[in-house]
Structure 1
C-alpha cells in the first residue's frame, strides 16, 4: 500500500525509504494516511525544486548514482538512499571514435659514425638535407654536422664539404666542390653529382672516414 510523505504529501510505493518527490525520509511515516489537509500546520519544506532527470525513452527506470538502486523514471530522489537523481541519467551511447588510419611510415634516422672513435653523429634531416663540413665563424659557415671536433681540419675537410639529403626513403650524398674530395666506398664522387647512399656505406671526406648508418 502507498506511503505518504509527511513533508510534501506525495504517495510513494510501499517499502520506499525516501520520498520520490522531495527525498525526505519515510521511515517514520505511517503505512497509510488520509489526505487530510494540514494547511497552516507543520514546517514548510524549504528544499529547492529540482527538475526530474530525463526519463529513458519508452519509460523504464533511473539508476541512483550513489547506491545503484533502480528507481521509477520520474523519481527525483532515490527510494533506497534518498540521494538526488538529477545526475542519474541514461548513459550516453558510447562514442564511436574515428577509425584509425594507416600508421604513418617511419622516417628513417641516419647517423654518421666516425671510424677512428666510433662517435655517432645524428643527421637532422627535418629540413630535407644536412650540410657536412667545418664550422667557421669568420666565414659564417655553420654546417649541420661540424667535423672540427673529430679531426676534420687535420683530415682536410672543407667548410662546406658535402651534403646528405633524402628523397622519400632514399638517401643521397653530394660533394659541394670540396678541396680534397669525397669518396663513397673508395670511389671518388664528382662534385655536384648526387649518389645514392645505403646503410653501411663508407664515406671519405678528405682523409676522414665515416660510416653511414640508417635506423628504420
Structure 2
C-alpha cells in the first residue's frame, strides 16, 4: 500500500495519484531484501528494516578496461578514395559566328490580296484626326446649345437654369447659401425652404437632391429621401413642398 503524504489515505500498489485527494503519490520500489513495496526515497524498509541507503552507495559497474577484460579488436577496412571528377571541356566562343535566323514565312496569296497594307499604315495622313476633332467640336457645340429649363406648372412660366454651374441651389434668399434659382416670386412659395434642393450637373446628366427642406421634395408625386438623388429626365415633375403647390416640369430643348 502507498500512503498519501497529504491525507494519509492508503492507496493500492502502483497508484499514481491519491484516490481521496488526487495528490501525486511518490514513486515506489521493491525492497531488495524482502520484496516489500517501499517508497523510492525511503531510508529503511518498513517490513524488514533493510537499510535502503546502502543501495545509493553501491559502486557502479566497472568498465571493461577497469575489469581487466581485454578489448576486442575490430578490423576496419581501408576506404578507397573516389576518382576525381572529370572537368568539362571549355566551350570556345567565336565572336565572328552568327546566330542562324529562322526563315521568314511568306504567304503569296495574302500579299497579293493586300499589296498596299503596309504603305497605307506607315503613311497615314493626319486628315482623320482633324476630321475627328471637328466632329468632337461639333458635338460640343451641340451640347452647349442644349437648353435646360423648368416649366412652372401653376403659372406656366418657363425658368431657364443658369449656365456654367455644376451645382444649382433652389430656394429663397438667405444669408447662408443664396439660391441660384429663386422661387420666392411664385405663388404658395411659403412652403418652400430657403435652402430647399440642389440640381447637380455631371456631364450630360442632371440630378436633383433634397438638402434638408422642411416640407420635402417630390419627384413624380413620390417623396425624395434626404441623402438620395434622382436623375432628371424630360417630363419629370418636381414638387417643392407638400400638396403639389409649387411644381416644375423638367425640360430639354
TM-score of the superposed pair, with normalisation by structure 1: 0.49
